[in-house]
Amino acid sequence: MNRKNRILLCSDLDRTVLPNGKEEESPPARPLLRKIAKQLILAYVSGRDRHLLSDAISEYAIPVPDFAIGDVGTSIYTVREKASGPVFEKWEEWEKRIAGDWKGMDYRAVSEFLKDLKEIRLQAPESQNTYKLSYFSEQISIFSDPGPAETRCRTAAELIKEIDQRLADQGVKANIIWSVDDMKGVGLLDIIPEKATKFHAVNFLKEKLGIEEKKVVYAGDSGNDLPALTGGLQAVLVKNAAEEVRQMALAEVKRKGNKEKLYPARGNFFGMNGNYAAGVLEGLCHFLPETETWMKSGLQEIENEG
C-alpha cells in the first residue's frame, strides 16, 4: 500500500463495478480495472457486509481492495490479500466514533421504536449490523406513484418523516436511506447513524490516509451513493445508473454549487460503453488525466494477452 501515486479510488460494488444490472458490460472493463488497481489505493464502498464483500470479490473476479467500507458506511476495514482469500480487519475507531449518534444502542434496540410500521419489514439478521438497521419495502410505488386517493399509501417522504420523528424523540440521530433493487423489484430502507454514511466513511478514510481531496474519486450508481456523489468529492455516476438517480444527483450538485464535481459517464471511452467498471475508469480519467497512460498500457497488455 506504499503507492507513490497516492490516488484513492472509492467505488460502490453492486451495479457500479459489478455488472449485475440490466445493462451490458464492455468486455475489457473489469480486466482493465484489475490492471489499474495496482497503481492506486482502492476502496470498495458498499451496502454489503464483510462476508458478502468477500463473495463479490471472488464471484466477479474484481481486484482485492486495500480498504473496504461496508454496511452502507457503518464499518471500515483494512483488507489484506492472503492465499486463502481476502482478510478483513475492522477499524474499531470508526465504530466508536459513530456509536454516539445512537446513544450506544444497536440496531435491535432502535428497531423497537419502529416495530408497528406496516410499510416496512425487517431484513434477515445477517443483513443487520451493530449500527445498521435494514428493512425491505414491497411498496416501492411509494417512491414515485402513491396511487389513487382511496387506496393511496403514504409516500416515502411521509414515511421517512415519521421514522425520523420517532427516532428523534428517542434521541437517536439517524440517516435514513432509500434505495431500490431494480432487479428484485424491492425497496430497501437502511437506517444508520447520522455521521455514518458512505460519504462520511470515505472522508474518514481519506483523512486517516492523508490523501489530498483532488486525488480522491468516488464512483456509484444508486440512492445510498447520493451523499457521496453530491457531497463535494470528485464523483462519477456510472452510465447504467437509473434515470431517477441521475436526475436527483444532478439537481443536488446544482443546488450545492458542486456541478463540476459530478461526472456522469458518457461512454465511448477507449471504445467502452460507460457502464459499470468502464464508467468508473472513465470518471477516474476525467478527474485525473494522468491515469490515461495507465489505461492505454493496460488495454495494450489485455490485447497482447488476449
Binding residues for Mg ion, per CB under 5 A?
12, 14-16, 221-222
Strand stretches in 129-275, DSSP E: 133-137, 174-181, 186-193, 216-220, 234-237, 262-264
Q: Is the CB of 16 or the CB of 230 nearer to Mg ion?
A: 16
Distance separating alpha carbons of residues 45 and 199, to the nearest angstrom: 9
Nearer to Mg ion, 12 or 119 (CB): 12
Nearer to Mg ion, 76 or 219 (CB): 219
Round the CA-based radius of gyration of the chain to a whole number and report it. Answer: 19
Beta carbon of residue 251, minimum distance to Mg ion (angstroms, whole number): 19
Beta strands per DSSP E along 124-238: 133-137, 174-181, 186-193, 216-220, 234-237
Nearest approach in angstroms of CB 279 to Mg ion is 12
Q: Which is nearer to Mg ion, 110 or 230 (CB)?
A: 230
| Least separation in angstroms between CB 108 and Mg ion | 26
Rounded Cα–Cα distance for residues 301 and 232 (Å): 35
12 or 71: CB nearest Mg ion: 12
The distance of closest approach from Cβ of residue 230 to Mg ion in the complex, given in angstroms and rounded to an integer, is: 15
> Amino acid identity, residue 27?
P
Beta strands in 17-70 (DSSP E): 41-45, 67-70
**Shortest spacing between CB 171 and Mg ion, in angstroms:** 31
Helix, strand, coil distribution of the chain in percent, nearest 5? 45, 20, 35
**Bridge partner list, 237:** 220, 264
Cβ at position 221, least distance to Mg ion in Å: 4
How many angstroms separate the CA atoms of 286 and 288, rounded?
6
Closer residue to Mg ion in complex, CB, 41/241: 241
Three cell numbers written together for 126 = 445477517
CB 11 within 8 A of CB 237: no
For residues 265 and 240, what is the distance between their CA atoms, to the nearest angstrom?
9
CB of 47 to Mg ion, least distance (A): 7
In the complex with Mg ion, the residue whose CB is nearer, 46 or 291, is: 46
Instruction: Tell the smallest beta-carbon distance from residue 24 to Mg ion (Å).
Output: 17
Comparing CB distances to Mg ion, the nearer of 172 and 196 is 196
For residue 11, what are the contacts with CB-CB under 8 A and spacing of at least 6?
A: 17, 42, 43, 44, 45, 218, 219, 220, 280
* CB-based burial, 188-206: b 16+ in 10 Å, e otherwise: bbbbbbbbbbbbbbbbbbb
